[in-house]
Chains A and B, each alone.
Chain A
Amino acid sequence: DAKTTQPPSMDCAEGRAANLPCNHSTISGNEYVYWYRQIHSQGPQYIIHGLKNNETNEMASLIITEDRKSSTLILPHATLRDTAVYYCIVRVLYGGYNKLIFGAGTRLAVHP
């Protein structure tokens, strides 16, 4: 019941911006978009989340389209340590609790 689609892989040169797209055309009005990343064999690491407005923190920026059907995660200056699988996630209400619906993920490779 994945609610997001992502490209399976992307490449980025070190020092350049990495722009990771995500489609979530069936998202409901009160469902948030989350991004996590997972470096090989480690637990997922929270990056950022948003509902309607664009968001920025020390790790990344999240741009959500006005119709909320897609979003883009931006890593402004990618480093080799940013090589990871990036998951675009929709957070839904489920049995009174918040459930993360993971996409299949984008494998980002940052190269020198």
Chain B
Amino acid sequence: DTEVTQTPKHLVMGMTNKKSLKCEQHMGHRAMYWYKQKAKKPPELMFVYSYEKLSINESVPSRFSPECPNSSLLNLHLHALQPEDSALYLCASSLSVTQYFGPGTRLTVL
């Protein structure tokens, strides 16, 4: 089973809202990732968690706040986003080197 789940599938939020994206995997993977994908572009890495600790932050603005409460769960907290943050947000996990992606959350910021 190589399933990564993400909720919600779609999210519409205003610039003053606070919302969270959720990612879950039960494959025992110890590394988890957040990516952002704009239309017709490849995914871009945002954050890497390894053993529940933030290992890499690709200079992401502080209005995006990741959290890894346990080894199976990864959250992305959103606050005061801008319309240009509208994108597909992808979560991935890996045991060793191959990353498995979830279906993504389509975020629209009004």
Query: Which A positions have Cβ atoms within 8 angstroms of B?
Result: 32, 34, 36, 41-46, 49, 87, 91, 94-100, 102-105
One of A43, A87, A91, A99 near B102 (C-beta < 8 A): A43
- CB interface residues, B 1-22, toward A, < 8 Å: 2, 4, 6
Are B56 and A87 interface neighbours, CB within 8 A? Answer: no
Interface size on B, as a range, is: 20 to 34
B23 to chain A, nearest CB (A): 11
One of B42, B44, B98 near A49 (C-beta < 8 A): B98
One of B4, B42, B97 near A102 (C-beta < 8 A): B42
Query: Which B positions have Cβ atoms within 8 angstroms of A?
Result: 2, 4, 6, 31, 41-45, 48, 50, 55-56, 88, 90, 92, 94, 97-104, 106
Q: Is the interface of B mostly helix, strand, loop or mixed?
A: strand
Q: Which residues of A are found within 8 Å of B45, using beta-carbon distances?
A: 99-100
Are B102 and A103 interface neighbours, CB within 8 A? Answer: no
Q: Is the interface of A mostly helix, strand, loop or mixed?
A: strand
